[in-house]
Amino acid sequence: MTNNAKTEASQQGHSIIGVICLWAGAILGLLLFGEKLGGLPFSMPSSWYTNPSISIFIALLLFGSGIKLMSDSKPIEKNWTPSQKYPRFDHIIIYSRKNCHLCDEAEMLLAKYYEYLPVPGIIDIDEKDELKEKFGDCVPVIEIDGKIRFRGKVDETLLKRLIENAPISHLPIVE
């Protein structure tokens, strides 16, 4: 088993354990809530009634652990390539401003897919009042072929979908 396969199996295990913890915490919480609202249709162990704060703590611990385990188990991204390797758009404009960390992140992310995208033009919105008024503090704004696609943060998954599903008309004609 390769390291990548081991890591994937480990992450899948964390995800499964996370779901179990999440459900167990939720069920325990619902039982506690049901008890407070007028009782349960069945009896619980005596420890349930003598110290309910332990049950509350366990419910919160299980629920929190489930959320943590599930959030840590992100799928490993394979080397992604679109079905066609040609730039699929005519132009990209990044509306940004100086000293903007999100703008820098957007530029780096777009650069990661340089093979499939045209070189982006970068416009500083602080240099034109109408752009400052139009975009305000919501930068970066990514415009692809005249349509605003991202504001504030570029979602890599959505960017990949845009690249993959761009119109074929932008592909070079090969004879």
Give me the residue spans of the domains in the chain. Answer: 3-72, 92-169
C-alpha dist (Å) from residue 143 to 53, 93, 106, 149, 155: 54, 5, 12, 6, 14
- Please say whether the beta carbons of 24 and 65 come within 8 A: no
Complete DSSP assignment for 98-121: TT-HHHHHHHHHHHHTTTTSPPPE
Identify the CATH homologous superfamily for domain 92-169.
Answer: Glutaredoxin (3.40.30.10)
Q: Can you give the pLDDT of all 175 residues of the chain as single tens digits?
A: 554 455 556 666 777 888 888 888 888 888 777 766 777 777 777 776 677 788 788 888 888 888 888 776 555 456 778 877 777 788 999 999 999 999 999 999 999 988 888 899 999 999 999 999 999 889 999 999 999 999 999 999 899 989 888 776 555 555 4
